[in-house]
Structure 1
């Protein structure tokens, strides 16, 4: 609470008065009072009153504090408080690093406040206060960014004894910008490429264990080991648990793959590559 004596002098000397720091719900707070209104927020002709959270430097990154609060002024004649709050009495405000202050720009008209009959300003003395209730919150902040041209972005998979591969086969795992990937190949095709073409896909390993989505812009490539006329296809996709691989069911016709003069399959060895040109980075903060 703030008890202000000689209020008329205070209102003429400061635009904004900040109370001392107090603790509520395990956090530090202060009241901010504008005796003649917060003019930057069109509060002229009113008293402006706000609750601000302070000393947040040691809170974890992405912090959020959910608060239900009521601001009040004391009626010294009737010995009761005038409480100001949102029309929705259960309204909860979210304090965070981009919004550290909530309150009312037009808390009370100055004409009403200065009228002695209302009891708010008596003998140049007044009393303001706040009731704070902090709600426990277990939410998380998800921060997503896209990295273009990440380092170490290409996996080369040299498959010897290609003819002995099973119906589907995965490469070793490789990491690009903190996310893990594999190449998936169907030697004799799958879906609408079955028995017609080799099918090649990029597979997200992260999606196997997470409900998050991961983005990649990528190229899949089969190297021509003789003529250097490589075959490649480009795609963009948000990978998820339900769509953890993406690529091409008809990447290269089997008749071209098996044509020795094309240079794709040499001594029963195939070289596949995955190149990731852009990838999402996801960080979670409690």
Structure 2
């Protein structure tokens, strides 16, 4: 399951309160990524992802769960975890990890990021961590993912004597050994994630979009509240790259108050488009972590959510359609 990311928006238009409004086009300020001369990072940088209430995740269906974002050498990354991966000829479920270079790093096509790194499952009792070392060239859309690594069988992870699950908590991570880019920021950042419990019932929000065919550019919903957090949706009716082939759709966490800054929120989400008569719908689901910082947060969703032609053929009733966000908060985290 692939979930793309999308940058947050400014505060413009956030005071809209109506639950039924036409989507309003919005053009965000241009965002740039600083680049400096090529260099090598010799100092190791790492990211730890602690998941509490881990056994509930083991019960979930097959699919990838995304960590929050972390920054190394001016580039944004995230980890993907699959607890039901399989090897060819082996029917057992495996724990797989993957390192992903975020699209928000906004690399040009001629820039290559060469990384050597370790993917880890931490043994919290005996210190006998399970690790796999890789090298990968991150560059184009097809190579932003390092490739899945079947680390250990799930049954091994669950053994009480293994030390991998302690107090219903499991810790995964990545350790960057060396990172070289053609153009990169020399700075690096070490991030530690500590997750704590905090769950909410599943709730849904419906965004009524009138006159879909008249929309141009980026559109955004009013803010809504689920699980004590404020959220909003962004939609690109002609696609985030404006090619007119696919509609792009994302969920964002709105700017938090001071008490929530630097916190993270793991969620299960479903985004749907449907008509207002038959409730005919197209739905995408996933699990991911939102990080609430002082600035607007990044969004999770799909660049190729649904074909624009399908929207026009199946989901419009008198030019109107519904976008639904179904969200359940399944924990909380703190960035140290």
Q: Which has the higher contact order (CA 8 A, sep 6+)?
A: 2
Structure whose CA Rg is larger = 1
Same fold at TM > 0.5: no
So what's the TM-score if we normalise by structure 1?
A: 0.44
So what's the TM-score if we normalise by structure 2?
A: 0.38
